[in-house]
Chain A
Amino acid sequence: MSANLERDLLQQGGDPQAQPIGYSADPRDLGWVRQNVPCQTACPAGTNIPQYIRMIVESRYGRSYEINREANVLPAVLGRICSRPCETACRHGWPGNGEPVAICHLKRAASDLKDAGHRITESLYSPTGKRVAIIGAGPAGVAAAHDLSILGHDVAILERETYPGGMLRYGIPEFRLPRDTLEIELHNALRLGVELKTGVSVGNGANEVRLSRLLEDYDAVLLATGCMAAQSLPMKGEWENVEPTQTCSDVESGLDFLLALHRGEAKRVGRRVAVVGAGFTALDCARVAVRLGAEEVTIHIRTTEEYIPVSHEEIFEAKREGVRIKGLRTPVGLRVDERGRLTGVEFAQNRLGGWRSGGRRQAIPIEGSEFVDPCDTLIVAIGQKTIHDLLDLKVELDRTDSVRLTDDGMTSVRGLFAAGDYVTGPTTAIEAVGQGRAIARRIDAWLMGKERRKTVVRITPVAGPLRERAYDFIPRQAMPTAPLHDRCKSLALEVEQGLAGDAVLEEAKRCYLCNLRYEIDIDRCIYCRACIDVAPRNCIKLVKGVETKTDGSYGTLEEAKDWNEVCAIWIDNNECIRCGACFRACPVQCISITRNELTEVEA
């Protein structure tokens, strides 16, 4: 909080709850939130995580759901299938602090436990008369459609498939994401007058709608078609430059496997199934194969379990279902019998190499280390790529064959925008939602000729600590799951059953509420050091200086080694776990608490 605002708040005295809520666009306040609320910063949609968890502690599940929905229009969906970058960043999971808060499970809990008759409230802008077409009803398209409709634009979504949802519906198995949950949230996202046209394909074919025509009919068009082509498996020797999915009936891409399954095709797999790949798609394919009756399902990965981009819980559940994961191997060829049926995959043993760009580990095949692992079905799930065959006009691409965008999210064609996996390559559902949200704001700004929304920090005085020290010792609550013998027989039975009410409360109490900002007013501090004595960590420091970064956030604290050097007593927010011990111990009440939240207001 900027010093002036804090002083204003404090000077009013009396009950801090009676003090006004402040709004700040000061870079120091924005920087503080970015730096000190790591879960929200890590969330691609910028979800206000501490506050929705706090609402759960207060048993205000509906409000918690609404806070979620401000950033992410599909909370119940993401509460089940999110890749959880927030949990990776969670302060509770930092070294020495224990396990991260089960943020994703709490997101789901808010949705599950809200009143059956909960009414969604949304502030709408008056109609603008502008028309926007969105191609693709996946998470990016749906999120953009929702936000654009709130901003008063007429939105139409054109979807190639029979039903909306994109990869959420056609790529994620029902045992991870029940379709009724998806239906409800899609309905709620599109209920503000979005026109959904399913079974409509945009492209150059006979019955397809031309993109150029859409640009004539609408004020803006958003490409959000995702990555709908599978990466082919590069192999060596006689299999070099051969597309195995085209030459062997027992080899299929993971994307096509899941698409066909969710379009209603009856899928079959062999007795021994090998899955090549290290992402959620690979894991989903393996777990589907178990449910389709495969006796032995193995995921083969190039690096090791530690470096694959899926959550430990998903890996654990897959293993419980009997899926095996074998690491440090690269497929280099196939083995087929005289009838052309697959009998095995030839792998090379890998060793770990350095780091690739994007934070992934390299795997380096070892020469002469080839071996064969027998199988009779191979599912290749090594990634997806963007295809541009729907374009009937020239759109500039970059060196990686991705569409080139300007800063305002527009392609080289005026009025044509792009977002989601179509731009970035395959990412996650929450990234797609985040991008959908961001592009909606940019399209709105372009259509209206000005930014109508801006991000500020809402600063709310808080009367006292909201946590107890005992909360720090609550263990992470385990997600109950469906019994193994039931789940492996059903493609539809949801594996994660949702936390029960008591467990939800316990888990919510674990959150440090990092958006609470504890500050010491050094003008009133008597340097008694009572706060330092009661601090459970090295979180309150006597300093001689504090670095201020260019983005406004605070950097290194220069700790004083000698009493004569002390210029201030400072709460190191990096170490602070918001236990409130200092607040309670201070004899002169010079420690203040404010809640600092990012919010959008009229620009």
Chain B
Amino acid sequence: MAAVGKHHVIIGGGISGSQAADTLRTLDPDSRITLITLSRLPVYNRYDLPQVFRGRQDWRDFLVQPPEYYRRSRISLRRATRVANVDATRRIITLAHNEELRYDTLLVASGGRGYLPEELAEFLPLLDSFTSFEDAVTVRRRLPEGGHVIMIGGDMIGLDLARTMVETGHRVTLVAGPQTFWPHRLEAGERKQFLAVLAKMGMQVVESEAHGNIETIEPGAKGMPARRIVFGDNTDLRADSIMAFCGLVPSVEFMLGSGVDIERGLLVSRSLRTTNEAIYAAGDVCQIWDQDEKRYRFYYGWKNVRAMGELAARNIVGGDEPWSSNQDESLRVQENGSLYSPFWEYA
């Protein structure tokens, strides 16, 4: 058990961070725990956000723990707080409003933000975001009943939303690209098969490359749907909303000056420790060394992320357990003809 009064700081109010906080409180009851999150809401389940299309629009329905849990568990929840910098030598976190927090151990579980391919970056203001509860509710409210949504990419998070929207009477056009079905790694020929399944599930599927890729995205003309995509072959699509789901980019910017090793995510050993002994990482932000593949790799999905949070917490308080995952990563077609991904299993 850690020494009495240690200050454990967790950056990131997602599933991983909240699981770590809970485990730390159990294993180290005398410690001080601070959980920092960018969100204005207490920790909630982002994987469940598509449910706003099924009428769940009360933020309390999404919370991982009730608000009183944090007071009861003596977890200091710092909401709407952005970390600007981590000084690993002095063990100090600088928050964006210049407050400094001292830590004994730090768990970075800041997750990832949606990756937008660089060639689409200039169109960002025309894309609707779906990364937070507020975003989800805004999209739901703006979209007319039976409205048309264009989804660029279509990673598994996006496809979960797409199938929900189709099931709730909306029209979805998938502009498929290299990131479709991310993070699944497909065998040759599977992609075509799975795209056909999506079409059967009610989505219109357009292969971006077959149309010369996206040339531009622009606001729709007056009286027309709000957005228009033009392809290289001059064909176009119009919709009420355009969203991009092209995988995740780890949120590591605030760690760049910390001296901790980073490739795309924070590089961690199998015990989830970074190259600094007081800093651990868990969830979508970390790349874990895989001895068999001899590379650092990401482990995605709700189950993995939660397990990482728990493991990191155990190792922070003195454990030395290695990471292992039994997450099923195969994408398959169910007997009823619909697509099934283990990444869609949210408890």
Q: Which residues of A contact B (CB under 8 A)?
A: 95-96, 304-306, 316-317, 319-322, 327-328, 349, 351-352, 366, 368-369, 481, 484-485, 537-538
Q: Is the CB of B98 within 8 A of A537?
A: yes
Nearest B residue (CB) for A536: B98
Q: Name B267's contact: one of A349, A352, A484, A485 (CB within 8 Å).
A: A352
- Least CB distance, B93 to chain A, in whole angstroms: 10
Nearest A residue (CB) for B289: A351
- Complexed CA–CA distance, A316 and B257 (Å): 20
Given contacts A96-B98, A327-B264, A538-B98, 17 further A-B contacts (CB under 8 A): A95-B94, A96-B94, A96-B96, A96-B97, A304-B262, A306-B256, A306-B262, A316-B118, A316-B121, A317-B118, A328-B263, A368-B294, A369-B294, A369-B295, A481-B122, A484-B119, A537-B98
Q: Is the CB of A485 within 8 A of B232?
A: yes
Q: Is the CB of B295 within 8 A of A328?
A: yes
Is B215 on the interface with A (CB-CB < 8 A)? yes
Can you name 23 A-B pairs with beta carbons within 8 Å? Answer: A95-B84, A95-B85, A95-B94, A95-B257, A96-B84, A96-B94, A96-B96, A96-B98, A304-B262, A305-B263, A306-B256, A306-B262, A316-B118, A317-B118, A319-B118, A320-B121, A327-B263, A327-B264, A349-B294, A349-B295, A366-B294, A481-B122, A537-B98
CB contacts (< 8 Å) of B257 on chain A: these are: 95
Q: Is the CB of B261 within 8 A of A352?
A: yes
Is B296 on the interface with A (CB-CB < 8 A)? yes
Nearest B residue (CB) for A94: B85
- Complexed CA–CA distance, A306 and B94 (Å): 21
Q: Is the CB of A320 within 8 A of B263?
A: no
The winner among B85, B98, B118 for most chain A CB atoms within 10 A is: B118
- Complexed CA–CA distance, A419 and B117 (Å): 42
Nearest A residue (CB) for B261: A352
Nearest A residue (CB) for B275: A352
Q: Is the CB of A96 within 8 A of B263?
A: no
- Complexed CA–CA distance, A417 and B178 (Å): 55
Nearest B residue (CB) for A307: B262
- Complexed CA–CA distance, A306 and B258 (Å): 12
Taken residue by residue from 86 to 113, chain B's Cβ proximity to chain A (1 for < 8 Å, 0 otherwise) reads as: 0000000011111000000000000000
- Least CB distance, B244 to chain A, in whole angstroms: 15
- Complexed CA–CA distance, A369 and B296 (Å): 12
CB contacts (< 8 Å) of A321 on chain B: these are: 119
CB contacts (< 8 Å) of A484 on chain B: these are: 119
CB contacts (< 8 Å) of B256 on chain A: these are: 306
CB contacts (< 8 Å) of A481 on chain B: these are: 122
CB contacts (< 8 Å) of A320 on chain B: these are: 118-119, 121
- Complexed CA–CA distance, A306 and B95 (Å): 22
- Complexed CA–CA distance, A319 and B95 (Å): 31
The 8 closest A-B pairs by CB, nearest first: A95-B85, A320-B118, A369-B294, A319-B118, A304-B263, A96-B84, A352-B261, A95-B84
CB contacts (< 8 Å) of B294 on chain A: these are: 349, 366, 368-369
CB contacts (< 8 Å) of B261 on chain A: these are: 352
- Least CB distance, A478 to chain B, in whole angstroms: 9
Q: Is the CB of B296 within 8 A of A328?
A: yes
CB contacts (< 8 Å) of B262 on chain A: these are: 304, 306
Nearest A residue (CB) for B256: A306
CB contacts (< 8 Å) of A319 on chain B: these are: 118
- Complexed CA–CA distance, A538 and B100 (Å): 12
- Least CB distance, B162 to chain A, in whole angstroms: 26
- Complexed CA–CA distance, A327 and B265 (Å): 12
Interface residues of B in 288-330 (CB under 8 A from A): 289, 294-296
CB contacts (< 8 Å) of A316 on chain B: these are: 118, 121
The winner among A96, A305, A316 for most chain B CB atoms within 10 A is: A96
- Complexed CA–CA distance, A352 and B215 (Å): 38
- Least CB distance, B275 to chain A, in whole angstroms: 8
CB contacts (< 8 Å) of B275 on chain A: these are: 352
Interface residues of B in 169-200 (CB under 8 A from A): none
CB contacts (< 8 Å) of A485 on chain B: these are: 215, 232
- Complexed CA–CA distance, A291 and B27 (Å): 58
- Complexed CA–CA distance, A305 and B257 (Å): 14
- Complexed CA–CA distance, A96 and B256 (Å): 13
- Complexed CA–CA distance, A368 and B264 (Å): 23
- Least CB distance, B19 to chain A, in whole angstroms: 28
- Least CB distance, A531 to chain B, in whole angstroms: 18
Nearest A residue (CB) for B296: A328
CB contacts (< 8 Å) of B215 on chain A: these are: 485
CB contacts (< 8 Å) of A327 on chain B: these are: 263-264
- Least CB distance, A35 to chain B, in whole angstroms: 20
- Complexed CA–CA distance, A566 and B108 (Å): 40
Taken residue by residue from 58 to 87, chain B's Cβ proximity to chain A (1 for < 8 Å, 0 otherwise) reads as: 000000000000000000000000001100
CB contacts (< 8 Å) of B96 on chain A: these are: 96
The winner among B97, B119, B232, B289 for most chain A CB atoms within 10 A is: B119
CB contacts (< 8 Å) of B121 on chain A: these are: 316, 320
Interface residues of B in 237-264 (CB under 8 A from A): 256-257, 261-264
Nearest B residue (CB) for A97: B84
CB contacts (< 8 Å) of B296 on chain A: these are: 328
- Complexed CA–CA distance, A351 and B118 (Å): 27
CB contacts (< 8 Å) of A538 on chain B: these are: 98
Nearest A residue (CB) for B212: A485
- Complexed CA–CA distance, A104 and B282 (Å): 38
Nearest A residue (CB) for B257: A95
- Least CB distance, A570 to chain B, in whole angstroms: 19
CB contacts (< 8 Å) of A317 on chain B: these are: 118
CB contacts (< 8 Å) of B289 on chain A: these are: 351
CB contacts (< 8 Å) of A306 on chain B: these are: 256, 262-263
- Least CB distance, B215 to chain A, in whole angstroms: 6
- Complexed CA–CA distance, A282 and B119 (Å): 20
Nearest A residue (CB) for B294: A369
- Complexed CA–CA distance, A320 and B84 (Å): 27
- Complexed CA–CA distance, A96 and B82 (Å): 10
CB contacts (< 8 Å) of B295 on chain A: these are: 328, 349, 369
Q: Is the CB of B267 within 8 A of A96?
A: no
